[in-house]
Structure 1
Amino acid sequence: MNSLFAYSKSYQYVFALLFLIPLIGISQYTDVINSNRPGVSVSAYAVGKNVVQAEMGLFYEQRDHTILNTESNIWGTDVSLRYGLLFERLELNYEGTFQDQKITFLNFDLEGKRRDFSRNRLGLKYLIYDPFKNPEANKPNLYSWRANHKFQFKNLLPAVSLYGGANFVLGDNPFYIGEPTISYRGMIATQSRLTPRFVLITNTAYDRISTDDPELSYTISLSHAFRNPKWSVFVEHQGIDSDRYSDVLIRGGIAHLLKENLQFDFNMGASLKNTPTRIFFGIGGSYRMDFHKDSLKPIEDQEADQNGGAIDKKAMKKKKKDKKSKGSGAEDVNLGPSKKQLKKLKKAEKKKKKESSEIDF
C-alpha cells in the first residue's frame, strides 16, 4: 500500500505551514446557519433537532496523469442533506457527488466518458463530548476583552463526534468497477474553538470497508471569521491512502452569510502530486429550514443548579431583613408629610413669626 507520507520535504513544509496559519467556531444549535461548506471537512456538531439543511455546489476539475498519459475534464455537482434527528446531538446525513468526466488517452488518441456517482453515502453522526456543555465553566470575562479573545491552551480541548455510514454503488458504476453494492465508513470528527474567530476541525476516516481497496483518509481544516462575521475564509489539507487511489490535496475558499438561513461560498484547490495532477474550483450555497423547538423539562426533573442555581436555606430570612432596611416599597409614592414633619414645620413657622414681630431700634 502506498504511504500518505512518502512525499518530498517541500510537501512536508506545506503541511507544517497549515499549523502556523491562524485558523470559526460552531456550536450545537444556533439561530444562524452552520454549514460544512465550502470545504470537505465535517463539523463535530449536529445542526440541531428538527433542523433541515441542504448544502449544494457545482465544480470543475482538470485532471492529468503523467504515467497513464491521460487528460480529463470533469464537471459535477455535490449535495449534502442534513437533518437533526430525535435529539440535539444526533444528525442524519446524506452526501452525494455526481460527475461527468471526459477522459483523453493521449497514447492512443482516444476519448472516453464516465458519468455516475463518485460519492453516494448515508450516515449518522453523534456528538459524544462537548467541552462547552457547562456554561458556568465557559463564562466570558466581564473585565478583560483580551482575556476573551486570546489563545488559551484549554481551547485545544475539542468537541468529539463519531460517524457511521454506508456507501452505495448502484448499477454499473464506471468509478467503482467490481465493487459490492454496499460498503461501510467510519469517522472521528473533532472541533476546537481556538479563539472566538478561529477554529480547527479534523476528520479521520476509514472508508469503503468490506471492499478489496479500503481507504484511509484525514482532513485538517482551519477557519477564520473576519471582523464582519458575515465573511469567513478557510484553508484545508486532505490526505487519502488506498491501493486504488492515493493523493495529497490542499484547498481554500471564502463564504458569505447572505441571510441567517442562507450562505454562498467559493473554493479552489489542487493536488500536491502528479499522479494525477488535479486543479479544481467550485461555487455553492447552503440553505436551512428551521423547525427547531426548545424542549420543556418538568421542574421536578431539573437539577438544583439549573435556572439560577440551588436555593439557599436562609434566602427568605435575608430577604425579610432587606425589606425592613430598604422600606415598604412605597417610597416612590408621595403620601404627604408625616406627624413628626408637621410638628417641625409648625415650630419653624412660629419661630419665624416671633422674629418678624420684634422691633429693631
Structure 2
Amino acid sequence: MDLHIVKKVLFTLCLIPLFTSAQYTDVINSNRPGRAVSAYAVGKNVVQAEVGLVYEQQDDASINSDSNIFGADISLRYGLLFETLEINYEGTFINQNITFTDLGTDETRTDFTRNRLGLKYLIFDPFKNPENNKPNLYSWRANNVFQWKNLIPAVSLYGGATFNLGENPFYVGDPTISYRGAIATQSRLSPRFVLISNIAYDRIGTDFPELSYAVSVTHAFRDPKWSVFIENQGIKSDRYSDILLRTGVAYLISPNFQADFHLGSNFKNSPSRIFAVLGFSQRLDFHKDKLVPIEDQKTGVNGKIRKKDVKKKRKKKKKKDKDDLDF
C-alpha cells in the first residue's frame, strides 16, 4: 500500500477518538501510550515500569533510502521521599536497517535514541484542596460539562541529564552528558477528558540542542477500563525537526497493570515515518497513606479542616457537657 495513503487513513483514525465516549483513570498513573508525560508523580514508594515494543518504517527521499526499525521503549519511575517527587529513567534502544537505493548498499545502526535520568516535582495541584472541587449535589450537568476552572492545570517541573554512551551513530559528536529541562501540565477538563501538555529543552550543552512540545488529550469510554488518546508532538533542532501525530488505546487489566497500543506518523518525506507501538505498564505499590490527626491537619491534608473550626467544636462540646452537668 502507498505510504501516503496509509498516512491519510491514519490521520482520519486520529480524529475518531474525539467523537467517541471514553474514561481517564489514574489508578496506575501511566505515561503510556504516547510521549506526553503526566504532571503527577506515581506516589511515594511506588515502583513503576512502562515498556513499549516499537516497529517503524522510515524512508528518506532526500537521500533515496528506506529503513526498518525495531526497538523498545522503557520508563522506570519511583516515588521518592514524598508524594510530589519522582525519579525516572527513560530509554529507547533501536536497531535500524537502512538500504541506500542509489548506492545499492545496506547499513545497520544500533544504539540509544533516548537515554536520560531525571527528577519531576509537582509544584502546583488545583485538586489539592478538596473544598474547591466538591461535586454539585443538585446538578448532574454541572458535574459533567466543561467549566472554565477546569482549564487550571496541575504543573510540574523536570530536570535531568541525557547520556550519550560511546560512539552513538544517531548523535555523532555529542558529549557524554548533556542536560534537559521540562514543564508538564495536566488539566481535568471533565470527568472523561484530560489534557496534558509538555514543553522540553533537551541536549543542552551540545551543538544541536532540541526544543520540543507534546499535547495529548485522553478520553474515556463508559467502560472505565478503556481509554483513547490523540497526541501532537513537535521537535525543533538543527539536527532534526518534525511534527508527529499519534493515536491509540489503553486497557486497564487490573489496578496495577495496563496494556496499550498506538499508531503514529509524521507528514514530511525527509524522513517519512510511520510506526506502531505495543506497550505495558506494571506498578508495584508499596505506598502507605499518612494519616494526620484532625487537630493537626492543614489545608489540603485529608481535606480542608481549619484549626479554628476544631477549636470551636471543642468549645461547643465543653459547653454542652457543662450544660448537661448543670441540668
Same fold (TM over 0.5): yes
Query: Is residue 208 of structure 2 the alignment partner of residue 213 of structure 1?
Result: yes
Residue 176 of structure 1 aligns with an amino acid whose one-letter code is: Y
The change in CA–CA distance for 1:227 and 1:321 in structure 2 (over 3 A counts) is: farther
Q: 1:184 aligns with which of 176, 179, 184?
A: 179
**Superposition map of 1:281-320 within 5 A:** 281-297=276-292, 301-303=296-298, 306=305, 309-312=309-312, 315-316=316-317, 319=320
- Paired amino acid for 1:68: I
Aligned mates of 1:122, 1:163 — CA distance in 2: 10
SS for the counterpart of 1:41 is coil
1:158-307 aligned at under 5 Å gives the runs 158-297=153-292, 301-303=296-298, 306=305
Inter-CA distance 265–322: structure 2 relative to 1 (3 Å threshold): farther
Do the aligned partners of 2:54 and 2:71 also contact (CA within 8 Å) in 1? yes
Instruction: Please give the alpha-carbon distance, in whole angstroms, between the structure 2 residues aligned to 1:235 and 1:322.
Output: 64
Q: Which amino acid aligns with 2:316?
A: A
Alpha-carbon distance in structure 2 between the residues aligned to 1:24 and 1:169: 39
Q: Deviations over 1:140-183 (max 9, x none)?
A: 11121111111000000000000001000111111111110000
**Equivalences for residues 29-40 of structure 1 within 5 A:** 32-40=27-35
Q: Residue 306 of structure 1: CA displacement?
A: 2.9
Contact in 1 for aligned 2:23/2:223 (Cα 8 Å): no
- Tell me the residue number matched to 1:68: 63
Residue equivalent to 2:91: 96
1:235 to partner: Cα distance: 0.2
**Structure that is richer in strand per residue:** 2
How far residue 272 of structure 1 moved from its aligned partner, in angstroms, is 1.4
Deviation of the 1:312 alpha carbon: 1.9
Give yes or no for the alignment of 1:137 onto 2:132.
Answer: yes
The corresponding residue for 1:4 is none
Give the letter for the 1:84 counterpart. Answer: G
SS at structure 2 position matched to 1:46? coil
Shift of 1:198: 0.2
Number of positions where the alignment pairs a residue of Structure 1 with one of Structure 2? 306
Q: Which amino acid aligns with 2:262?
A: N
Q: How far, CA to CA, are the matches of 2:297 and 2:62 in structure 1?
A: 65
Structure 1 contact 218–240 (Cα < 8 Å) conserved: yes
Kept in 2: contact 1:25–1:193 (CA 8 A): no
Distance in 2, Cα, partners of 1:197 & 1:299: 33
Mapped to 1, the partners of 2:147 and 2:322 lie a distance apart of 44
Q: Return the alpha-carbon distance in structure 1 between the equivalents of residues 274 and 145 of structure 2.
A: 36
Percent of aligned pairs sharing the same letter:
66
- Displacement, 1:320? 5.8
Q: Distance in 2 between matches of 1:50 and 1:176?
A: 35
1:276-332 superposed Cα distances (whole Å, 9 cap, x missing partner): 1100001010000000012244666434953895342652277569989xxxxxxxx
Distance 1:150 1:299 in 2: 34
Give the conservation status (yes or no) of the 8 Å contact 2:23–2:226: no
Q: Does 1:119 align with 2:110?
A: no
Q: Secondary structure at 2:132's aligned position in 1?
A: helix
* Other-structure match for 2:43: 48
Q: Secondary structure at the match of 1:172?
A: coil
Structure 1 CA distance for aligned equivalents of residues 72 and 181 of structure 2: 24
Give matches, 1:306-345, under 5 Å.
306=305, 309-312=309-312, 315-316=316-317, 319=320
Contact kept in structure 2, 1:100 and 1:115, CA below 8 Å: yes
The one-character-per-residue Cα deviations of 1:66-85 (angstroms, maximum 9, x if unpaired) are 11111010000010000000
Instruction: Report how far residue 135 of structure 1 moved.
Output: 0.6
- What is residue 327 of structure 1 aligned with on the other side? none
**C-alpha distance in 2, partners of 1:235/1:290?**
28
- Show structure 1 runs of 5+ residues with no match: 1-10, 325-361
Which residues of structure 2 form unaligned runs of 5+? Answer: 1-7
Q: Is the 8 A contact 1:270 1:279 kept in 2?
A: yes
Return the alpha-carbon distance in structure 1 between the equivalents of residues 265 and 101 of structure 2. 22
How many Å separate the matches in 1 of 2:182 and 2:74? 19
Describe the SS at the equivalent of 2:143. helix
Q: Counterpart of 1:312 in 2: which secondary structure?
A: helix
Q: Which has the higher contact order (CA 8 A, sep 6+)?
A: 2
Q: TM-score, normalised to structure 1's length?
A: 0.79
Local SS of the residue matching 1:310:
helix
Does residue 154 (structure 1) correspond to residue 153 (structure 2)? The answer is no
Provide closer, same or farther for how the CA distance between residues 323 and 265 of structure 1 changes in structure 2, counting only shifts above 3 A: farther
TM-score by length of 2: 0.87
Aligned-partner residue type, residue 283 of structure 1: L
SS at match of 1:160: strand
